[in-house]
Structure 1
Amino acid sequence: MSSFLARRLEVLSDTIFGVAMTMPIYSLPLLDRHVGEGEWHAAAKVMLRPIFVFGCSFLFSGIFWFSHHRRLSLTNANSRRYLFVTFSFLFLVVLLPVPTLLYSHDGTTPWIAAFYSGYFAVVAAINESLWLATISSMPTRPWRLVIGPGILALVFTIATMVSFISPLASAITWLAVILAPLADARATKSPL
């Protein structure tokens, strides 16, 4: 990939990630009146789920953003197919507010929890396919670099399946996402 095209793709992806990661904050429920001393717990309860979901979406997107930039710095792929898949990945990032808002309104419904986890599973699968394409085009082919992105795809796929049984257990499954950056750091022997 030419350095000019890589820089343009990097700028575009930063813009897309930035907008998609911050847009859900505008939908957080704001209190329309002053909360008295005895009512703070009720106000906190209303805002707790949306803030938690926004935080999770922000964290997951941040992990994908970091992975995306690491991949862009290594890529030599200049095929139209690679660019098409990259744009598909970025298009899914643009859609981040949709599952985030839906899940923040009702995360206890199994199909909504599955939709939220499934969204991240699809993003992770495309991210993994981009990593595989990048590594296969490199002369040294350091396959260990696909471990972290692969963990993301696996965790979100498992979380999607678990969502149909228990939406709460699905949210607990997301904790395993932290293994991806740890595996990346170990595979590349670099500090977090």
Structure 2
Amino acid sequence: MSSSGPSSSGEVPTVLVKDSEGRDLLCFLEQLIPLDGKDYALLTPVDTPVCLFKLRDGDDPQLIDSITSSEPILSVADVVLQEHDLTLVRSAVTLTVNGELDEPEPEDPDDEEGDDESETYELLVSFLVENQEYGLYIPLDPFFVVARMDDGCAVLVEGEDFDRIQPRIEAELDERDLPE
């Protein structure tokens, strides 16, 4: 029986993933999935992924899913995180936080209706920028990254390529999880 997951010594290999803009993200290699003669890697970030939300009184927080790394909001977030001995990293795929974090407590702080599209988050820090409140939240669901392995280098699978390959990777993983 062979395994394409972590070695039996318990050490999980790490891979540096690059996106189309040249940013990188250090990840743990969780699974290798061969498809169409290429190896695809299922990865999880080494640092803690975080999501930026705009907070509004009485309304659900609004996810900000597109932000440039030079955005003033992130400079303020940097300063706030430094007060907690944490560092904001503008990585490929997602923002991440480097440093010692307390274990998140599973709760659903802002989503009482529970629609299927929503994830569960824990507020890490909140801060004000020009009288607007923002928050950095940690997703409590696992955060996976898909990369294609090319000559030992991991290249992020993005856009249409991701849309095309994701269902096939999920099907392969479902098949692997079936009891023999």
Q: What TM-score range do you get, normalising by the shorter chain?
A: under 0.3
Q: Which has the higher contact order (CA 8 A, sep 6+)?
A: 2
Name the structure where helix makes up a greater proportion of residues: 1
TM-score, normalised to structure 2, is 0.24
TM-score, normalised to structure 1, is 0.23
